[in-house]
Amino acid sequence: MKEISLNHKLAQIQTKFKSKKSRFNKFGKYYYRSAEDIQEALKPFLLEYDVTVKLKEKYLGNNIIKSTAIISDGIQKIKASAIVGVEIEQKGQLMPQRFGATSSFGKKYALGNLFLIDDTEDADTINKRVKLEKNGLSFDTVKDKFYFDNDVENFLKQKINE
């Protein structure tokens, strides 16, 4: 049997992978998925395609965390990252909780970037986007005028969707 490349393995996983939004936010009244949900849904693919998936984080300073999801077949690696900021003024949370929540958020988006998890919008995201667009502000409008690398684009999209 011919060994397939890591790119092909990743494409196979991306094509087949599904992770449902099984958690419910009572305050915002929407369903969402967590990084843990994504990791759990990935497990069947690990043995099937003989790959491992790891998550790494790096503190960049100024309350910014870079999360990186890495898939490897033992020979090659493919990475995808997300950069997220800690909401320092978040009320009702201690600082470790703020960093933990941001860490989870970053991991979720790094995994989402690596495995092309759909970004079906939740009701709260749609409402905020509509409000921004009524004021003439959309990410696409800004993106047409400026170049962003993937990390910056993901960071800005995350901030817009908060």
pLDDT tier at 73 (50, 70, 90 boundaries)? very high
Residue 19 CA from chain centroid, whole number? 13
pLDDT value at residue 120 = 54
Q: Which residues contact 114 (CB under 8 A, 6 or more apart)?
A: 10, 53, 69, 70, 71, 78, 79, 80
Tell me what pLDDT residue 126 has.
Answer: 47
1 band by pLDDT with thresholds 50, 70 and 90: very low
Residue 159 has pLDDT above 80, yes or no: no
Q: What pLDDT is recorded for position 46?
A: 97
d(CA 135, CA 156): 17
Span 1-26, mean pLDDT? 88
For the chain, what is the mean pLDDT? 81
Q: Residue 113 has which token pair? A: 């970037």
HSE, side-chain direction, 13 A CA sphere, residue 154: 25
Return the closest-CA partner of residue 112 out of 160, 60, 157.
157
Closest among 108, 120, 103, 123 to 41, alpha carbons compared: 108
CA-closest candidate to residue 113, choices 16, 21, 35 = 35
Q: What is the pLDDT of residues 22-72, one digit of tens each?
A: 888 888 888 888 899 999 999 999 999 999 999 999 999 999 999 999 999
All domains of the chain, ordered by start, with CATH? 6-117 (3.30.160)
Q: What is the pLDDT of residues 90-131, one digit of tens each?
A: 778 888 888 998 999 999 999 999 999 875 554 444 444 444
Q: Does pTM top 0.85 for this prediction?
A: no
Answer with the residue of higher pLDDT: 161 or 73.
Answer: 73
Q: Which of 10-19, 73-82, 83-92 has the lowest mean pLDDT?
A: 83-92
What average pLDDT does this structure show over 14-21? 89
CA distance 70 to 111: 8
Comparing 159 with 58, the larger pLDDT belongs to 58
